Amino acid sequence: MTHEHEHEITNANEKKTLVVIILTVITMFAEIIYGYITHSMALLADGYHMGTHALALGLTYAAYILIRAFKDSPSFPNGTTKIGTLAAYTSSLFLGITGVWIIYEAVQRVISPINIKFDEAILVAVIGLVVNVVCILVMNFDSKHDHDGEKDEDYNFMAAYYHIMADALTSILAIAALLIGKYFGVIYLDAFIGILGGFLILRWAVQLVKKTVIILIDMKK
C-alpha cells in the first residue's frame, strides 16, 4: 500500500465525517433549544446524548487533521495510520461506555418503572433515526479498500460509523418498544429492548478495541 493511496482514502473519509458532524451538531442544538422551549425532557436528553456522539465524531475528525498535517513528516517514517488507529481505539472506549450506560439506565427502569410520555418519546426517536439514516447514507461505509491485492482498513472511520449505527439501532429499538407500549400497554418492553441494544453496542465496542489494539502493539495475527 502506498502512502498516496492511504491518504486518498483518508481525505474522502475526512470530508464525510465533517458532514456527519455538522448534521449531528445542528440536530443536537435544535433538540436542546426546542426541549427548553417545550419543557420536553425527552428532547433535552436526546440532545445531550447526541452531544456525546458529536464528541466522538470530533475525535475522529481531529485524527484526520493530524494525519494530514504530519503525512510528510520525518517523525512518521512508516506513515500516520496509527494516529487514526489510536483515535479509533479511544472512540471505541466511548462506544463501550455508551453501551454500559444504556444497560444501566434500562435496568434502573426495570427496577423503578417511570411513566413514559409515548408521543413525545416516539417523536424524539423518529427524529434521531432520520438524522442517523442521513448520516449513514453520507458515510456510505466500506472500511476496506483494495490496493494491489491487499485490504486497507480505516478503523478511525469505522469507529465513527459504529457510533452512528449505535444511535440508529437505539432509535429503531426505541420506536418499536414505544409503539408496543403505547398500543398494547407492555411498558417493560422498552427497558428490556434497551438492555438488548446496550449489549449489542458493547459487543461492537469490544470488537473494535480488539482490532485496534492488535495494530497499536504490533501484535501478529
Taking only the tens place, the pLDDT of each residue in 18-72 is 999 999 999 889 888 887 786 666 667 677 778 888 888 999 999 999 988 888 7
90 and 203 in contact (C-beta within 8 Å)?
no
Instruction: Copy the grid coordinates of residue 16.
Output: 464525510
Q: At 150, is the secondary structure helix, strand, or coil?
A: strand
Domain holding 43: CATH number?
Answer: 1.20.1510.10
86 and 214 in contact (C-beta within 8 Å)?
no
Q: How many Cβ atoms sit within 10 Å of the Cβ of residue 43?
A: 23
Instruction: Copy the grid coordinates of residue 54.
Output: 458529536
For residue 221, tell me if it sits in a domain: no
Q: Which domain range does residue 101 map to?
A: 3-216
* pLDDT value at residue 135: 93
pTM, whole model, 2 decimals?
0.77
91 and 144 in contact (C-beta within 8 Å)?
no
For residue 86, tell me if it sits in a domain: yes
**Sign, Cα dihedral of 42, 26, 9, 55:** negative
Low-confidence ranges of the chain (pLDDT < 50): 1-2, 145-150
> What is the C-alpha separation between 93 and 102, in angstroms, rounded?
14
Q: How many domains does the chain have?
A: 1
- What residue type is assigned to position 78 of the chain? N
For residue 40, tell me if it sits in a domain: yes
